[in-house]
């Protein structure tokens, strides 16, 4: 499975944000997308999953064009995403949220166990009473437990304590090793540099740098781009 963006353009209303972005993510690799706040990362994620309309370019998934497909069609094609905004139905229970994501009650314990004791046994709890970090873990677990071949993870470590960041890294690593492709949008550079195969740097809606995570010059280049 491969996700390919070619000359992708998108924005909000009449305000362009992405200016011809091209990249690919293949099965069996983690590609880390990084950039400063306002670089266009969230706009790119929303365009990939179909929440924002592409105004130019094309998206393909395993050779099939998905540029005009609705989000539900992209899910059926094998694409799943966990969003930075923690898109849960806060008035519903954790279990009801999982059911809406396609998980029958018999699978809830398995999904919630992906983060150890943090979510285990909490299917009956109202999702809105979870902490911000717990909501992010639930969103990540829902994606990781799916059968999707291409995963988009938008800032999944936000609000997580260090032990859960490490556990998330292990889960992402396992997903990659099972042959799935992962686009990881992440500010937690320690995690990203530990598990990513390649990096893409986005700046003002354009890719300004990319390359292997094993490149010895990477740390210096990231520091320059991100001013860290």
Do the Cβ atoms of 142 and 103 come closer than 8 Å? yes
CA distances 131 to 56, 76, 80, 107, Å, are 38, 30, 23, 23
Q: What is the CA radius of gyration of the chain?
A: 17
Residues 6+ away with beta carbon under 8 Å from 103: 111, 142, 145
- 180-197 residue pLDDT tens: 999 999 988 889 999 999
Query: Residue 87 has what pLDDT?
Result: 64
- % of the chain surpassing 70 pLDDT: 99
Q: Which residue segments constitute the domains of the chain, with CATH numbers given?
A: 2-87+149-226 (3.40.50.300)
174 pLDDT above the threshold of 80: yes
Q: What pLDDT band is residue 219 in, cutting at 50, 70 and 90?
A: confident
pLDDT at 228 over 80: no
Q: CB under 8 Å to 81, separation ≥6 — which residues?
A: 45, 48, 49, 143, 151, 152, 153, 154
Residue-wise pLDDT for 105-146, tens only, equals 999 999 999 988 899 999 999 999 999 889 999 999 999 999
CB 77 within 8 A of CB 61: yes
**What pLDDT does residue 184 have?**
97
Helix or strand (DSSP H, E) at 62? none
Average pLDDT value for the chain: 93
Work out the burial of residue 20: count CB atoms within 10 Å of its CB; fewer than 13 is exposed, 13-18 middle, 19 or more buried. Answer: middle
Of 12, 8, 55, nearest to 33 by C-alpha is 8
pTM for the model: 0.93
In the numeric block, which tokens belong to residue 119?
A: 């979510």
> Nearest Cα to 32, choosing from 161, 219, 212, 177?
212
Model confidence pLDDT, tens digit, residues 7-24 = 999 999 889 999 999 999
Tens digits of per-residue pLDDT, 29-39?
999 999 998 89
- Work out the angle between the directed axes of helices 162-177 and 132-144 (0-180°, nearest 10): 10
């Amino acid at each position: 499975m491969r996700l390919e963006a070619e000359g992708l353009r998108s924005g909000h209303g009449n305000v362009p944000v992405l200016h011809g972005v091209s990249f690919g993510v293949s099965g069996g690799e983690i590609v880390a997308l990084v950039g400063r706040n306002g670089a266009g990362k969230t706009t790119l994620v929303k365009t990939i999953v179909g929440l924002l309309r592409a105004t130019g370019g094309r998206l393909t998934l395993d050779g099939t064009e998905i540029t005009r497909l609705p989000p539900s069609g992209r899910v059926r094609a094998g694409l799943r995403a966990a969003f930075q905004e923690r898109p849960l139905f806060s008035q519903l229970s954790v279990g009801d949220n999982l059911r809406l994501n396609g998980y029958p009650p018999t699978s809830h314990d398995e999904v919630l166990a992906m983060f150890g004791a943090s979510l285990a046994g909490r299917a009956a709890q109202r999702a809105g009473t979870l902490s911000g970090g717990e909501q992010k873990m639930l969103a990540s677990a829902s994606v990781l437990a799916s059968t999707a071949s291409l995963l988009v993870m938008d800032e999944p470590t936000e609000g997580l304590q260090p032990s859960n960041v490490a556990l998330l890294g292990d889960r992402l690593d396992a997903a990659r090793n099972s042959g799935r492709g992962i686009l990881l949008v992440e500010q937690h550079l320690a995690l990203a540099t530990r598990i990513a195969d390649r990096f893409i740097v986005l700046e003002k809606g354009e890719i300004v740098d990319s390359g292997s995570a094993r490149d010895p010059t990477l740390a210096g280049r990231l520091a320059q781009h991100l001013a860290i």
